[in-house]
Structure 1
């Protein structure tokens, strides 16, 4: 049936366009508001005085000792001295040998590009010396003849990839081998044990009045070559091959005695205070170090502010980039609910007290007295000393290495000498450790290794290239009938290293993954040799991974160069390692007793 729909809408309108009075938000009956506060019991709350002054007494000690590697309990280790102002902790822990050693068997085919660049730099320094132009050219040729690149044997050439082989062929008799030059100049100008300084080789035919200039260039070059990379100087490595992570300890002395901090599982690439634990079961010889001082600071506490925090002023709006109310949470999502409640209800209850500390120092707070706006002074004690029900809970304190329930809380603040920003290069070596449930074993898969010219070499591409060359060189036979072929075991690529579980301790039943052998077509066994450093740990004690270190998702271990600048302005270049989550399970295709048509 026809109808007419109508309605009436009420629109409030101000009688005056001036909004000043409304914006002032005046209170016309403050007594009524006070009465309502009394009625609901708000006057029975706690004293809400604002802190206006804080007095802090503490003792601060700089780190004085460093020890690489794990330390067994009840051990007194001989640790080396450490100055946090000279070297960042990541560099000290991660660095490994870059320059090849002259006494190593593979030194002839390692770091070819570095050897060439070092030789070119020496010639560049030689040109900067006040030497006669005619003699300068003679000296250049003499050094090239004296320190050439040695030609490799056929067996040594077979171990090189095509790019490295071509590079070496190009540099033979054309460039100076910086590795050979360094070993000769160091033995001559810087003999071990502070012996008598020798003379340059006579076959260089350097004029007597220009020997000083050539030796000056050699000294500058030696200093450059020895400080080009941060490398360990006759100290053990912090890398633990059986765990694929770093382990180390640092120590200092406070008034109560030696304090040792241990990091047993460091592999992320960035150190922070929570990586360390207090290790009271070892000693590193820091008990007599003179390292700590007492400080007393009287400061004004400042409120902590963060994005999205409740604004303090009436008409001030919060940062719109952070909306804690828009966080999607469920009834059982307690961490998110706690975060929202903290930010909205208690976010303006936190204050910060500025305390200046040197990087690489350990601080123990002795007392903290806070005075509020009512003139009341309160002694703030650590939560562990409050005697409350949850006094054992702590978030921002260092934990003990082994929790026994008998040790008190540490009440220590550690400011580690770590990096904020550094430049990382692309991986020069990459190894995947994965589980193969079909073959019931684990594998170490070398995806990338460092070639002789210091470039990442893809093992898969190199294996395919060798297979193509082998097939092209094999004689072509006539047509073969379609007869099944029996194989004792399928062929596995040479960059797949088998890892077999072995029980190494009958008492604890510890299982480790050790390098195994693969079957050849004739039934014999051969050990797969890795070409990188990750699967060839130093010292040569064999690879014996703990079984739990390779989970179902696998792990990925890489090596790459890193570069940074430290507090004193000095730059540091070192080679370190990383461990990350892998790519899941894998399949090698390993089968036994198969017929292939």
Structure 2
């Protein structure tokens, strides 16, 4: 029997090898008896009783519903959207050849702001396209460039100050003036009167005129396909006083229509939750086009269990796929969507079955009845889980439409599939307005953060406003030096002077409180104007006008109209509104490009620095 040996220094004993019983191993290898691994990979368990007890311990023998569905029969009806209306305009036939976002958001591209022609990039694009199309008919390039020429800006004219104030715009206009064709002017000439021809005032043979007429029609189709715009500029869904889109659509239902309205669409993500059912409207109007009645279907299905990545296996002792880890989700306290997803994936994974039914885009489906037969031959009648009153707080449902009002309406079980695009490419903002509240001045300011230039590009509003003011001052100083304008030089005898008010940057447009008609308490915000005060200007100051189409509502018409915004549209946090180009591909393979508006929450209040009745120190000449 080996006796216990105590070693004082084991390192020394190992080095000298004084005790042969201590052995060193660098590597241990097994010596298999056979090269067949089938039995080893089976992971056999000899104790079946242990497996049964573990199943009993984990509750696998406790079943609440042992019958799985094997067959199901559904009776349902479907209807399609047939009418569309933008705001309070005339009703139209619902057009599903373009995404609904393009139909609702479409805005006319601005080609004129005040009296200044803008969107030079599109004008040149249209001109190049027309000259390219007529190249095979003859040498008419010089004639069209001369007739539809881009005018040269006058550096001494105040009407061209929007161009000459900005170096990049001035350079591009001067480079293309009298050298390139303005294709948009030709388009407007052709669209203004059916009797107009592209060859008017341009001499050519009758054969060439016939060819030009054919190309003119193709030119109009090309441009209207390139940019999706409303045929009537006023017939769009944008509501300036709400800073939101408002539109409606309807589908046949029984002897009437199911009317769906969107009153607060502004974020650019259009789906079923953007519209509500209007129970008080029975129809949108008559389009004169017959609509297809609802269709009914009775289908039999074999229910299939729902499977997804990361789904827990329904039985124990099975390796699961670890690509999706629900345990790695860290939802916030208010993130209800993630919590519902986790509960569905981890608790009710094997309780859901799939019965596929294909719906067309723009359809509304209603399940009239559904029967399910399980493996024991028992048949059950399944009703909607979210049935009951629409405003009942004690019910839960998903993908159901909300019904406007609180008149005790029943929940609508219909499933709406809108013809919307899943992905939209968005350009940089062409215009951007930031509405902020200025409690010190007791008004709201609309700051033109991004303004469009004549070239079609955009520029920061503060820089553009500073350049424009300096340009006006340069023209005034030149008139004073030439003797055209007489400027009285004030003489101050005191050390201080009285100033009625100071100024703000020209890209700050004021909105002042105004009472609503017929009300003594409700107010709304009305667009106002600040005076443009120049040094040495003895004339009455001009009003500063907005440079963006979003704020020029009612200015570019013969009779200028005031522009009002509802007060609740500008909360304390402010509101950001911007206009940009949107581009998407539709399911027919075509590309749709349109000009749309987005609205977002602002970043808080601000202060313009506007002050009245000030005493200003007089700077004395040294």
TM-score band by shorter chain is 0.7 to 0.9
Which position in structure 2 is the counterpart of 1:458?
A: 460
2:301 alignment counterpart: 299
For 2:589 and 2:340, the matched residues in 1 are separated by 43
Relative to structure 1, the CA distance from residue 455 to residue 206 in structure 2 (aligned partners, 3 Å threshold; closer, same or farther) is: same
| Equivalence for 2:264 | 265
CA RMSD of aligned residues (A): 3.7
Distance 1:208-1:327 versus aligned 2 partners, 3 A rule: closer
Give yes or no for contact 2:388–2:410 (8 Å, CA) kept in 1: no
Whether the 8 Å CA contact 2:198–2:213 is kept in 1: the answer is no
8 Å contact from structure 1 (residues 57, 294) kept in 2 = yes
**In the alignment, is residue 535 of structure 1 matched against residue 551 of structure 2?**
yes
State the partner residue of 1:28: 49
The CA deviation at 1:360 is 0.8
Question: What's the offset of the Cα at 1:229?
Answer: 1.1
Cα distance in 1, alignment partners of residues 46 and 494 from structure 2: 96
Q: Which moved more, 1:420-429 or 1:113-122?
A: 113-122
- Asked if structure 1 preserves the Cα contact closer than 8 Å seen for 2:113 and 2:547, the reply is no
Task: Name the TM-score, length of structure 1 as normaliser.
Answer: 0.82
Q: Which moved more, 1:208-217 or 1:167-176?
A: 208-217
Where does residue 176 of structure 2 map in the other structure?
171
Aligned residue for 1:141? 142
Residue 24 to residue 361, structure 1, CA distance change in 2 (3 Å): farther
Distance in 2 (alpha carbons) for counterparts of 1:549 and 1:484 = 42
Alignment-derived partner of residue 67 in structure 1: 85
1:223: which partner in 2? 221
- Deviation digits for residues 407-436 of structure 1 (CA, Å, limit 9, x no counterpart): 111011000000111211111110001111
Match of 2:102 in 1: 91
Alignment: residue pair count: 553
1:402 counterpart = 2:414: no
* CA shift for structure 1 position 490: 1.9
Q: Structure 1 328/482 Cα, relative in aligned 2: closer, same or farther at 3 Å?
A: farther
Provide the C-alpha distance between the structure 1 equivalents of 2:83 and 2:416, rounded to a whole number of angstroms.
Answer: 15
For 1:1-150, what aligned pairs fall within 5 Å after superposition? 24=45, 27-28=48-49, 46-69=64-87, 78-84=90-96, 86-98=97-109, 100=111, 106=114, 109-127=117-135, 129=136, 131=137, 136-137=138-139, 139-150=140-151
CA drift of 1:357 comes to 0.4
Flag the structure with larger Rg.
2
Mapped contact 1:50–1:372 kept (Cα < 8 A): yes
* Residues 364/534 of structure 1: CA separation in 2 closer, same or farther (3 Å cut): same
For 1:92, what is the secondary structure of its paired residue?
helix
Q: CA deviation at 1:498?
A: 0.9
Q: Is the 8 A contact 1:78 1:284 kept in 2?
A: no
- Whether contact under 8 Å (2:436, 2:572) holds in the other structure is yes
Corresponding residue for residue 18 of structure 2: none
Query: SS of the counterpart of 1:578?
Result: strand
1:184–1:517 Cα change, 3 Å? closer
TM-score by length of 2: 0.79
**Equivalents in 1 of 2:255, 2:325: separation in Å?**
45
CA distance in 1, matches of 2:302, 2:369: 16
SS in 1 for 2:589: coil
Aligned runs of 1:117-516 on 2, under 5 Å? 117-127=125-135, 129=136, 131=137, 136-137=138-139, 139-151=140-152, 154-160=157-163, 161-186=166-191, 190-191=194-195, 200-201=199-200, 203-234=201-232, 236-255=235-254, 257-282=256-281, 283-285=283-285, 289-313=291-315, 314-324=317-327, 327=330, 340-385=342-387, 392-404=395-407, 406-467=408-469, 483-507=495-519, 509-516=521-528
Q: Which runs of 5+ in 1 are unaligned?
A: 5-15, 71-76, 192-196
Where 1:28 maps in the other structure, the secondary structure is: helix
